């Protein structure tokens, strides 16, 4: 089976929120494949970011996939709102509630692609019994809650394990945290095909820098593929 194409997903967590629409347009023009939307509640993770209204505002501004990562608990009550707002992929954490399978069912019932994420201390085996119910598996390579953190090297082992669990299923393997031209080859070699990048794209919030930065990550990721 041919390898899935590499997709770069700039995280708007690192964007300039005073001109968010312009930032999204700029990374889209610069070559972004997905727009990654980090939703944090100040409870499941130690930060507070945005809600469905931001997704609703962004939806008319881009045709790119809105990759919505819910770092919130409880999560189930908010799935319909993010789906209605225009999310294409909704990812929930295995650690965020007692009924992961039910959460994934709820996402698919809304007609959206369902993702399951695991934190650095959570084993890949936590997803073994729901692997047939997901479209995207997200391995966190930092502890969720803040941008700009350093990549946790042990994530490479987990990505390999996740890839083995996915097998020949058509499931994207996404990595989030500390992704840059140096770490991109490590995670792609391990099996990832969707790379979330925040500061590595948006640092300085100068739109002129976005295209070369996205290209650098993509080039670093693709040149190591056989």
3-state SS, 90-142, equals EEEECCCCCCHHHHHHHHHHCCCEEEEEECCCCCHHHHHHHHHHCCEEEEECC
Residue 111's CB is within 10 A of a number of other CB atoms, namely: 8
d(CA 103, CA 158): 23
Q: Which of 33, 41, 135, 176 is catalytic?
A: 176
Q: Look-up: residue for tokens 């994934």? A: 104
Is 176 an annotated catalytic residue? Answer: yes
- Cα separation of 69 and 54, whole Å? 13
Catalytic residue among 33, 38, 67, 135: 38
DSSP state of 210: H
Q: Which residues of 167-187 are buried (b: 16+ CB within 10 A; e: fewer)?
A: eeeebbbbbbbbbbbebbbbb
Please state, in angstroms and rounded to a whole number, the distance separating the CA atoms of residues 113 and 134: 8
Residue 172 among the catalytic residues: no
Residues serving a catalytic function are 38, 176
């Amino acid at each position: 089976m041919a390898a899935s194409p590499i997709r770069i997903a700039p995280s708007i967590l690192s964007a300039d929120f005073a001109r968010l629409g312009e930032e999204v347009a700029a990374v889209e023009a610069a070559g972004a494949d997905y727009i990654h939307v980090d939703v944090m509640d100040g409870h499941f993770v130690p930060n507070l970011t945005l809600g469905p209204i931001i997704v609703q505002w962004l939806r008319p501004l881009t045709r790119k996939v809105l990759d919505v990562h819910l770092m919130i608990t409880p999560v189930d009550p908010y799935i319909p709102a993010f789906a209605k707002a225009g999310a294409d992929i909704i990812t929930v954490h295995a650690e965020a509630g007692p009924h992961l399978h039910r959460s994934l069912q709820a996402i698919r019932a809304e007609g959206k692609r369902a993702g399951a994420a695991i934190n650095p201390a959570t084993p890949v085996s936590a997803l073994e019994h729901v692997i047939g119910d997901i479209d995207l598996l997200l391995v966190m390579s930092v502890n969720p809650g803040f941008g700009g953190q350093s990549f946790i090297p042990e994530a490479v082992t987990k990505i390999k394990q996740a890839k083995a669990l996915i097998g020949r299923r058509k499931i994207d393997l996404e990595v989030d945290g500390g992704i840059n031209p140096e770490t991109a080859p490590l995670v792609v070699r391990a099996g990832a095909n969707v790379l979330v990048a925040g500061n590595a794209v948006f640092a300085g919030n100068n739109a002129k820098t976005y295209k070369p930065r996205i290209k650098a990550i993509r080039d670093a990721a693709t040149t190591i593929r056989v």
